[in-house]
Amino acid sequence: MFRFRETNIDTRLYLQLQDLASVLSGIPELKFDYAYGSAIDNEQYKLTASANWGIGNAKAKEAGLKTDILLRTVGTLHHSDIQTMQQFMENMSESGLPKFAGQLFTLFENIRLEEIVKKQRPGTAGLFTIRRDYLNRYFTQQLEANVTRSLSLDELYCLVYLLTQAKTPDPSFPAANDRQVKQLERLKPMIFQLFDAGSTSDIVRITEQIVFRLESDYTDMVHEYVILPIANLSSYTEKNAFDELTRTDSLANESLEEDVSEEDSETFEQQFSTWHGENENADRKQNFMQFELEQGTRSSLMGEGARETEEGDQAMAAMQGASGKSEQNDYSEMEAMEKRQDNQNTESAGGAYGRENQYAVKVIKNAEAPTDADVKLYHQYADEIAPYQRRLSKTIEKMLEHKRQSPRSNLTTGRLSKKLVSAATEEFPRLFYKKDEESKEMDAAFTLLVDCSASMLNKMEETKKGIVLFHEVLKDLKIPHSIIGFWEEATAVKDQFQPNYFHVIHSFRDSLYQNNGAKIMQLEAQEDNRDGYSIRVAAEELEARSEKNRFLLVFSDGEPAASNYNENGIVDTTLAVSETRKKGMDVIGMFLAEGHISEQEDELMRNIYGRERIMIPTVSELPEHFAPLLKRLLLKML
């Protein structure tokens, strides 16, 4: 809707908006994204909201984005007539003001749909109030700018908006040119019909009247303030957007019939009400469609919709879980959104690795035997971090020893305690204790993921010292762990092929060997980083471990950056972290700065990792930040 755009994505808000779009539309598979304006796109199967809402105003931004989604899902999906819009745009293409016509129609249609949304969902009125206040300020500023630039029709468009949203029937506009003010007066009878409009046809009629009145006096608008609520309008065949997005081709099931005469056929016909030939439509792009029970589709996939079978459906069926509906049939909005989010996580186009990673390919690179130079450098780094290692190992050993020596009281068997008061005060007293019980070994497994993108070039050597500390401490405590460097090879990326390397320095099998630490020296800065994909791959192996406590630590120095992964990469990484935590694993992000941690960097890591993040101003300080983290995680297990 506006010209400027913020690039820092609030991933929590993004996921909330994705859930909101899915829940309100009733189409779980409908994707959400930011764009220049708000529209429904049937070709991309997504709904967009304007990325330019409320620059510097978080409250207006959230209200603007949510009302964009409300207008499109509750409004446009069900209450806008597609065929009428198509005919209108075709007619207006021959007028002298096609751009103005499209924007004026969208403005009026949004006003009509807003009233429908507020009527169906009264709780949204506050959001629309914030939206109107923000737009009133915006169009007032744009009015003044258009007057200065002598953009007459842009000026008049701003006046039309401000008139429709005015709190008085006859507002004044001292900043506007007299010509546009007089023109507005002549248009008022037509504009005020808007408040009685009950359909898209009424909006079209009002807009056409105004356009025909103005096209001989004005040249077309320069700026674009809104976009049509329906993208790719000419490609729609249904009357409304919801039917378009949930339809299947009319010939979907005719493939069941063959041109075989009844004489030559040895078969007999019988109708099976829950079977149809969806498998015969493999090369036809088809959206989801709901069926009545007698026309249903028998499928291993769970959910509300039935669709054509595709490659990977068996895997998808195995990934999905069953859920039951409460007897009250009443879900809170938060529960519904969380359920939608879970479905989207597993049903994303990229399968188990996320929609943004459907073309990512895993390439395993095993570490080689360390050279003499690697061994020498490793011992040098080990000497440097030795004080941190000794203090940390000593603390953990003391805690383990204390746990072994501390008597366990209030038992039903063992040695008789000297405290026998409970024998007289309790019906079933516990009078015994034991102090010879050995504590369990530390039941934990760790994976350390190391960002090996090109931006780590000047940080990798210092980073290795932190990794040496990690390895030496866990080796002393006999805790299995893996160390993996990750990167995407940008120079080898091709269409539908994105090779992602996983440099396995230590696996769980060899991490406790005495002489393997020097392999850490083989980590080097490479190219891009696809963090969300890498986290999911690493979490697969960690999830398979039998240990009770499982930790995934991620060393990184910035936001994800890979092929077609920039802004979406932040959201995808956030989803990967959330999915991994839901599987019972702790995920901690460690940010390696270059001397100063900016507010934007801290916000980025907060969006992805939440409170479980460590911000390190300089890489040289990594050991002193890393040691307390390891201590906290290890003590958590005791």
Domains and CATH numbers, the chain: 11-235 (no CATH), 372-401+440-637 (3.40.50.410), 406-434 (no CATH)
Q: What DSSP state is assigned to residue 393? A: H
3-class secondary structure, 84? helix
Contact 517, 561 (CB under 8 A): no
Overall average pLDDT of the 128-132 stretch:
94
Q: Using alpha carbons, select from 65, 81, 78, 7 the residue that is nearest to residue 32.
A: 65
Contact 385, 465 (CB under 8 A): yes
**Length of the chain, please?**
638
The string of DSSP codes covering 417-480 is: PS--THHHH-SS---EEES-PPPPP--EEEEEEEE-SGGGTTTHHHHHHHHHHHHHHHHHTT--
For residue 149, give both structure tokens: 């630039």
**Residue 583 scores a pLDDT above 50:** yes
Overall average pLDDT of the 515-520 stretch:
87
| Distance (Å, whole) CA 578 – CA 593 | 24
pLDDT (tens digit, 9 = 90+) per residue, 553-578?
999 987 888 988 876 888 899 999 99
Helix and strand counts by DSSP (H, E) for the chain: 19, 14
For β-strands 432-434 and 415-416, DSSP reports them as antiparallel
| Distance (Å, whole) CA 319 – CA 322 | 10
Q: Using alpha carbons, select from 79, 77, 41, 47 the residue that is nearest to residue 65.
A: 47
| Distance (Å, whole) CA 421 – CA 81 | 81
Q: Using alpha carbons, select from 319, 318, 362 the residue that is nearest to residue 342.
A: 319
- What whole-number percentage of the chain has pLDDT above 70? 75
**Residue 616 scores a pLDDT above 70:** yes
Residue 267: its pLDDT value, please? 43
For residue 300, give both structure tokens: 């291993």
Q: Which helix (H) or strand (E) holds 47?
A: strand 46-50
Going across the sheet that includes 360-366, the strands are: 360-366, 498-506, 481-488, 444-451, 549-556, 586-592, 613-616
| Distance (Å, whole) CA 404 – CA 436 | 8
pTM above 0.85, yes or no: no
Mean pLDDT of the chain: 80
Overall average pLDDT of the 265-293 stretch:
41
| Distance (Å, whole) CA 149 – CA 412 | 89
**Residue 153 scores a pLDDT above 60:** yes
pLDDT (tens digit, 9 = 90+) per residue, 470-482?
898 888 888 899 9
